[in-house]
Amino acid sequence: MGKLKAHLDNIAVSHSVFALPFAYMGAFLAAGGLPGGGDLFWITVAMVGARSAALALNNLVDLRYDRLHPRFAARPMVTGEVKPWEAALVIVACLGMFVYAAHQLHPLARLLWPLAVAPFAIYPYMKRFSWACHLVLGVALAGAPVGAWIAVRGDLGAAVSLLAAGVGIWIAAFDVVYGCQDVAFDRAHGLHSLPAAVGVARALKLARLMHAASVAAFAAAGWLSGLGPWYYAGVALAAAVLVYQHGIVSAGDLSRVTQAYFLRNGLVGAAIFLFTAISMFG
């Protein structure tokens, strides 16, 4: 059980709250209601497989740096609870789960699954080369609603494209805030991030602008989808969470950027999906 817990911690199962609600939202909007034919089940399997492979890969690739970073001292791969070869097996197994699930969905999903994997595979290496690493992470998570939409309908619409843009910008902006903690470490080890490039104060300002843009994209996606007032209540609640999150951090005080701060951002996706469902079925 200890080994199982270590692997679950390594793939950060709780972080599913970031992408899974938006994947469900994409599926619901594509179906105009509750998806049928087992689509929702296989979308869930695909999402869990993809994000688990992505997290394990990220931790494996970054292990060299995580061993040097005091904040990551308790990570299972750093402590040795999870061996690199074990993480590699998990990556292969989870990727296989994702590919198998994709093949149970719309034929187009069977063809396009490599496009979903590409940003996850690229992201762990981006900090070696460019501050645009945050944007690559955003693209990776933006694939959640798009992939689910394609899995149900086999096409791509303007509404889900705006939803994906909102998700991508939201995640990228939060990753910028999270990266503000590591400016000194990144600069000392030749790693790249937006905060390391422009400074913490400017990075936080840019993150606020990005989150404002993401809220606008969420609102526009609802308008194109013909969703009612309940949906916009969800968007407003998500916006309030983001305002609060930005209100408790500053360039001079990043002490509240904790795991709780990190998971609280999952409320954004959960709120928007919940109120989407209410708007569609209420």
CB 20 within 8 A of CB 144: yes
Tell me: pLDDT of 193 over 90: yes
pLDDT of residue 111: 93
Mean pLDDT of all residues in 183-203: 96
Whole-angstrom Cα distance, residue 85 to residue 83? 5
Domains parsed from the chain with CATH numbers:
2-118+130-281 (1.10.357.140)
Between helices 39-61 and 84-102, what is the axis angle to 10°? 150
Q: Look up residue 276 and give its two tokens.
A: 């989407």
**What pLDDT is attached to residue 16?**
67
Least Cα distance to 59 among 81, 87, 93, 85 occurs for 87
- For range 243-253, the mean pLDDT: 91
pLDDT at 263: 72
Using the predicted structure, report yes or no on whether residue 15 has a pLDDT greater than 80.
no
**Distances in whole angstroms, Cα of residue 31 to Cα of each of 68, 106, 149, 160:** 47, 13, 8, 12
What pLDDT is stored for residue 97 in this prediction?
95
Question: How much of the chain exceeds pLDDT 90, in percent?
Answer: 77
User: For residue 128, what are its two tokens?
Assistant: 């070696």
Q: What is the pLDDT of residue 17?
A: 67
Global pTM reads: 0.92
pLDDT digit string, tens, across residues 115-153? 999 999 999 999 999 999 999 999 999 999 999 999 999
Model confidence over 102-121: pLDDT tens digits? 999 999 999 999 999 999 99
Q: pLDDT tens digits for 161-185?
A: 999 999 999 999 999 999 999 999 9
- Token pair for 34: 């509750």
**Given pLDDT bands bounded at 50, 70 and 90, which one contains residue 14?**
low
- Which region among 10-19, 180-189, 266-275 has the lowest average model confidence (pLDDT)? 10-19
Q: How far apart are the first and last CA of the chain?
A: 42
Per-residue pLDDT tens over the stretch 201-241: 999 999 999 999 999 999 999 999 999 999 999 999 999 98
Whole-angstrom distance, CA of residue 187 vs CA of residue 199: 11
Mean pLDDT, range 41-60, rounded to an integer: 93
Half-sphere exposure of 157 (CA within 13 A, CB side): 22
Which pLDDT value is given to residue 235? 93
Give the separation between CA 185 and CA 191, rounded to whole angstroms.
8
Comparing 43 with 9, which gets the higher pLDDT?
A: 43
The pLDDT mean for the chain works out to 91
The residue to which tokens 């609102």 are assigned? 219
pLDDT at site 1:
66
Q: For residue 264, what are the contacts with CB-CB under 8 A and spacing of at least 6?
A: 241, 245
Query: Can you give the pLDDT at residue 209?
Result: 97
Distances from the Cα of 191 to the Cα of 57, 176, 198, angstroms: 18, 14, 14
Check pLDDT > 80 for residue 12: no
pLDDT at residue 3 in the model: 78
Average the pLDDT over 66-76 and give the result: 91
